Structure 1
Amino acid sequence: MMKRVPLSVEKEECTGMPSTLKSIMSSPIWDSLYKSIDGYDPLIHCVLLTFLNQEIERFNKLLIVIHESLKNLQLSIKGEIMLTQELEEIYDSFLKMRVPKLWQKSAYKSCKPLSFWVNDLIQRLNFFNTWAKMAYTAIHHRYMRFITAWKHSVSSPNPKSQSPTDEKSNFSEGFPARYWLPAFFFPQAFLTTVLQDYGRSQGLSIDALTFTHDVLSDPADTKEKELSLIIQKKLNIVRRAFKGTDSKHIGVHVFGLFIEGARWNHEQRILEDSLPYEICCDFPEIHFLPTKISAKSPNASNQTGSESELYTFECPVYQTPERSRTSPETGFPSNFLTSVYLSTKKPPSHWITMQVALLCERDEK
């Protein structure tokens, strides 16, 4: 396990130059770029970069706990140090294929058994490592263009010459085309950051914004393709997240959710009852689009429509399959993330009775 799990999300290289996203954003390079920008820049002013740094820091702390505890467990088995109660609990957890309590305290919410948990952790680390590399490369390229433009302005002081800030970056330079929502420690904080980012670009308060949702089903998908798609989604998380570009940069596309108690009809783009013996299945990609809150919400449920009209079901999204625990502060289950509004031919009361929900992970116990 110590060989499979890396020591950190990013590898710091001794080159004399910042080699990680955190180091480059805390260096004079970042300060120079930030001060050179006039107005809003979709890369330099993106709040998601700060959020990415925070997520990487959380994963790094978890990795330190994992590696230190494994090292101490090895030493205790060899008799070089005392076997403490904490180490004994870790050893017992391994025998029972559970995630040790010490790791759970520093980790994200998950109900996965140990083997699934470790595989999932490695996929998350790969996702954030790839994102960090993309962001680092985009910032470094911007800095090199800044230096080139600055040298050009010094050698040729022409007022019409291009300034370092004339060339704006595309949002797709340093960010995924799609976001694996279950990868985050705090997915709800990610969604809040997306609203904050959009609010900054439009000069709007985050309190004036909400999300509308568009399920991006491909009508061409057939039942014959479903099995291969599921395998591809599981084995190629990074490839799916970073394939193509999100040049529009309005909202985010998220994937990796599962639906429990119902299924999504790809052709009709509506929620429908599950197939026999099907409890949980993959859910398509969703476009979370920031929208200004209006007096009449576009997601409001149509409770009085005829059978030919569509209802809208406010589907809850949970981080784990465990939904019973309620937070005393919010009144919602502690792993409740948000709601997604889904079209359906049946009234919302039907889906509430069926306890339909979107999950970041399926029950693998």
Structure 2
Amino acid sequence: MSHASQTSLEDLKRAIKGFVVMSEILEKVYHAFLNNQVPELWANAAYPSLKTLSSWVKDLEMRCAFVGNWIIHGLPKSFWLSGFFFPQGKGSYVNYARKHNYPIDHLSFKFNIVPVIRDQEIVTEQMAEVQKGESIQLDEELPVPPEGVLVHGLYMDGFSWDWKLMVVGDSAKGVMYSPLPVLHMDPVMDYEPDHSLYSAPLYKTSARAGTLSTTGHSTNYVVAVYLPSHAQQDYWIAKGAALLCQLSD
């Protein structure tokens, strides 16, 4: 066999081997589609999510729209915290520290409830109909805080919001998740939360568990949100009360 023929044969073997590998990948994607699951190939490059494929695609479209509207229309009046790839980011801390010349490692968030429920799906629909420089109707319901940011899109797991007492309360019968009102995340120097506040852990997904990062925190954990409560900490801890950035479906 000539050298040229041997080279062609080796190239053919490599091509066949590459085709087999690609076929295995595509087969996994195909089976994921059949089972309404997010393909592993996509999930490995995406944000943590437990959603089915159909819900995941809708969520992805909303995330893209959220960022796109931010670019076109400027800073949103309230940020969809669930739409961030890395919600643990400390951009608000950085802006506040630079503005007041404060050490960033002495800043913590004080959380104030804004009695408004803001649905990102409705926000996306309204934003699609406005022109540059215009505002949506939902923005009229929100105040403009002097410091910090407004965020929305969080869910309460194991408890709910008591609109009469304006504190956290027990979940309604048969209701597993309920929306948390808009949060005002207000940076404060050397903040010491009151003992009456419930320190609700915020997770990206309902799995709660995650891998341990170099910071010593779970990759699924975001931050502790201090919420007003008439019950002791142990009461809510026993119920497993926590906040979630997104639901499984």
Q: TM class, shorter-chain normalised?
A: 0.7 to 0.9
Report matched runs for 1:128-207 at 5 Å: 128-134=67-73, 174-189=74-89, 192-207=90-105
Kindly indicate whether the alpha-carbon contact (under 8 Å) linking 2:80 and 2:120 is maintained by their aligned counterparts in 1: no
Higher relative contact order (CA 8 A, sep 6+): 2
Q: Which has the higher helix share?
A: 1
Aligned length: 219
Task: Mark the runs of 5 or more structure 2 residues left unpaired by the alignment.
Answer: 1-18, 128-134
Of the three residues 253, 262, 267, the one matched with 2:159 is 262
| C-alpha deviation, 1:177, in angstroms | 0.3
CA distance in 2, matches of 1:248, 1:348: 29
| Correspondence 1:335 to 2:220 | yes
| Correspondence 1:235 to 2:121 | yes
| C-alpha deviation, 1:128, in angstroms | 0.6
| C-alpha deviation, 1:106, in angstroms | 1.2
CA distance in 2, matches of 1:104, 1:176: 28
CA distance in 2, matches of 1:336, 1:361: 13
CA distance in 2, matches of 1:293, 1:106: 37
| Correspondence 1:121 to 2:60 | yes
Q: Which residue does the alignment assign to 1:314? A: 199
CA distance in 1, matches of 2:166, 2:58: 32
CA distance in 2, matches of 1:248, 1:112: 33
Q: Which residue does the alignment assign to 2:24? A: 85
CA distance in 2, matches of 1:234, 1:248: 20
Quote the RMSD (CA, aligned, Å).
2.1
| C-alpha deviation, 1:234, in angstroms | 5.0
Q: 1:200 to 1:94 in 2, by over 3 A?
A: same
Q: 1:330 to 1:355 in 2, by over 3 A?
A: farther
| C-alpha deviation, 1:248, in angstroms | 4.3
CA distance in 2, matches of 1:266, 1:327: 36
Deviations 1:290-315 (A, max 9, x none): 11115xx1x131xxxxxxxxx21100
Tell me which amino acid in the other structure corresponds to 1:357: A
Deviations 1:232-287 (A, max 9, x none): 72531334896358754510000000000001112211111111121111111000
Q: Which residue does the alignment assign to 1:105? A: 44
Q: Which residue does the alignment assign to 2:4? A: none
| Correspondence 1:217 to 2:103 | no
CA distance in 2, matches of 1:350, 1:117: 34
Q: 1:203 to 1:106 in 2, by over 3 A?
A: same
Q: Which residue does the alignment assign to 1:14? A: none
Kindly indicate whether the alpha-carbon contact (under 8 Å) linking 2:78 and 2:151 is maintained by their aligned counterparts in 1: yes
CA distance in 2, matches of 1:292, 1:101: 43
Q: Which residue does the alignment assign to 1:271? A: 168
Q: 1:328 to 1:205 in 2, by over 3 A?
A: closer
CA distance in 2, matches of 1:262, 1:215: 16
CA distance in 1, matches of 2:145, 2:237: 35
Q: Which has the higher strand share?
A: 2
CA distance in 1, matches of 2:162, 2:219: 30
Tell me which amino acid in the other structure corresponds to 1:233: D
Deviations 1:131-175 (A, max 9, x none): 0112xxxxxxxxxxxxxxxxxxxxxxxxxxxxxxxxxxxxxxx31
CA distance in 1, matches of 2:186, 2:42: 35
Q: 1:117 to 1:108 in 2, by over 3 A?
A: same
| C-alpha deviation, 1:334, in angstroms | 2.4
Task: Mark the runs of 5 or more structure 1 residues left unpaired by the alignment.
Answer: 1-80, 135-173, 219-228, 302-310
CA distance in 2, matches of 1:273, 1:90: 41
Deviations 1:308-350 (A, max 9, x none): xxx2110000000001335164444320000110111110001
